[in-house]
A and B are shown apart, each in its own frame.
Chain A
Amino acid sequence: MRVAVLAGSIRAGMRIAGEIENLPGIDVFVIVCNVGMRSPLLRWSRELFSALKSFEKWTFAAKAYSYARQERLIILHWPLDDPASIELLRSLQCDVGLHAANVIYREGTISAFRLGILNAHIGILPKYRGRCVVEWSVLQGDPTGVTVFFIDSGIDTGERIVLQEFIPSNGWKRVGALKNMLFGCDARLYRKALEALMQPGVQYEGNDILKGRRYYVMSHMLINTVDKILRDRANLG
């Protein structure tokens, strides 16, 4: 199976690639998108800063060099939905893309992958679509977790859910830290999802959007309320 990590930075891409590259039968590419179409100077300064921040900067640099030498590290200079980028993605003949960049995917980009692009959404689908879904789940007393599903061009409306993992919010006192922990589960869950996809006769869960709602960015007042609920629960426990 050929897999491309669509990342916002080399470091983000290599982190996920490192988790999945040892899976048997997987070929990994890292595609670094130019999120926000930054100038080359700004873009490479950010990459350098990000690399220097890493505790394992030499391992990271060696791995990135190895990927680049094998032409498995590809830096995009155009927007992801530009015809030139789509042509490049098609030429890789990947089965699956893994979302790790802060970009919106259009139909042309999604269809460049045989099966589609997976997203590790930090909420439980189909109930919680959109933004701040961790906050909304805690506020409404629902379980938190991550859903890995194939995206479409809507907001968390892709119909094929590959896996879902409930990850309790117990013990977390701030929603920001809880979200970082959930975001950090992406590489592990992408690995599990790819393992599932390589099994014969893979079955998807449906994502019936009528069973859920789209959520939006939350007010400061309710975010503070969510933090208070988490602290209250942590203190009780």
Chain B
Amino acid sequence: MDLETALSRPVPLDRRKEILRGALLRRRAELRKSWKHFISVEGLESLGSLAPEVESFLSGQGSIHDWRPAATFTWINCDASFSDSLRSIALAGEVDYRPSDTSPARLSLVDLNKLSNIKRLNLLCARYRCPLNIAAASEFDVAEELLRQLMVPDRAKLEAGEEFDADIILLKLNLVGIRAMITRDLRYLDALNYFYELLHRSLAHMRTSPRYVALWLCIYAQLLSMPDW
């Protein structure tokens, strides 16, 4: 059978998108009510000045920021720290950045995977000081590897109830979420869907990293509200 025949009666594109959009908005409404299950009262308090912003962002309608650059970018430099940049992106704020024509040397996946979790976390935070760079064309292989790690070994560990490092998993979820914001690749969004469903079962672990959890949920909330998947 040829391709034309196989596509003889497709769902009209708009209707398919409409069904998807409805599902995302229902999840957004659910998240508005359920996010407090992910962050304990103590965890929220530990966020300091970030706490009211997170609470308002997740409980309210929330705003979205279209981070897609007008043109393909090579690399982005910014003066803010990784932590501050991630906060701004997650809360749909502004990031003061300057496009650059050169990107750093390629990150070797073999070398990355040899590192301990803490060293890997530090390396990723340093390389993605401006986290928007995870969506740069040069970072395709790294992003695919982070997605693979989340959806294969990390997922398997969580599903088997094994010990896991919450910080590195949450960092990956934040970066993968930011890539989804820019590339609109549904696979990256669905990693967040999957872990949102999965992490209900592993909440005790996640509560040790309230900041990463809060920012991840804010990024997730933005993704669910985006109209153009």
Contact = CB atoms under 8 A, between A and B. Distances in A.
Contacts of B8: 168, 170
Contacts of B147: 216
Given A216-B151, A216-B191, A221 B23 contact: yes
A145 B186 contact: no
Contacts of A217: 151, 155, 194
A216 to B, nearest CB: 4
A233 B148 CA distance: 32
B23 A225 contact: yes
B178 to A, nearest CB: 18
B105 interface: no
Given A216-B187, A222-B190, A170 B9 contact: yes
Interface stretch (A105-113, A135-143, A180-188): A135-143
Contacts of A233: 9-11
Interface in B73-126: none
Contacts, number: 81
Interface in A103-153: 136, 139-141, 143-145
A87 interface: no
B201 to A, nearest CB: 13
Interface string B168-207: 0000000000000000001100110110110000000000
Interface stretch (B12-20, B63-71, B210-218): B12-20
Contacts of B186: 136, 139-140, 222
A155 to B, nearest CB: 9
Given A221-B23, A233-B10, 13 more contacts: A141-B13, A141-B16, A143-B7, A144-B6, A166-B3, A166-B5, A168-B8, A218-B194, A221-B27, A222-B190, A228-B19, A232-B11, A237-B9
A214 interface: yes
A231 to B, nearest CB: 10
Contacts of B53: none
Given A228-B19, A232-B11, A220 B197 contact: yes
Interface string B1-40: 1110111111101011001100100010000000000000
Interface string B139-150: 000001001100
B152 interface: yes
B18 to A, nearest CB: 9
Interface string A206-230: 0000000111111111101100110
A225 B155 CA distance: 21
Nearest to B10: A141
B101 to A, nearest CB: 25
A196 interface: no
Nearest to A145: B6
B6 A225 contact: no
Contacts of B23: 221-222, 224-225, 228
Contacts of B2: 166
A221 B193 contact: yes
Chain A interface: which size bin? 20 to 34
Chain B interface: which size bin? 20 to 34
Contacts of B190: 216, 218-219, 222
B187 A213 contact: yes
Nearest to B198: A219
A232 B144 contact: no
A82 interface: no
A64 interface: no
A205 interface: no
A175 to B, nearest CB: 13
A167 interface: yes
B17 to A, nearest CB: 9
A165 interface: yes
A213 to B, nearest CB: 7
Given A215-B187, A216-B187, A166 B6 contact: yes
B6 A219 contact: no
8 contacts: A136-B187, A140-B186, A143-B6, A170-B9, A216-B147, A217-B155, A219-B190, A221-B197
A83 to B, nearest CB: 27
